[in-house]
Amino acid sequence: MLGNIGPAELIIIISVLIAIFGKKKTGEITRSASEATRELKRARKEALEVFEELKKALDESASAEKPQKAETASVETGGSKEKLEVRGGEGSA
């Protein structure tokens, strides 16, 4: 957003700020604005790092939970055939 401001525009903006607020207050405003900009950049970087960690964790858990094949068996009980679906894997007996 502020990347398109050239030196001439910046001088005009600072001149208007000095005319409105005075030299002392303008210095305070510019310092607080630059501190806020640094803090936003730092917070954005931290948020991106957290999102990347979460993405890696989700990818790892998704790859660990591979779908298992179901086996179908026919069983005769009392003259009728029934199909049973059996899933293998951890925790199944």
Q: What are the boundaries of each domain within the chain?
A: 2-87
pLDDT digits (tens, 9 = 90+) for 16-40: 988 888 888 888 888 998 999 999 9
Q: How far apart, in whole angstroms, are the C-alpha atoms of residue 30 and residue 21?
A: 12
Residues 6+ apart with CB under 8 A from 69: 88
Report yes or no on whether pTM surpasses 0.75. Answer: no
pLDDT digits (tens, 9 = 90+) for 46-65: 999 999 999 998 888 888 77
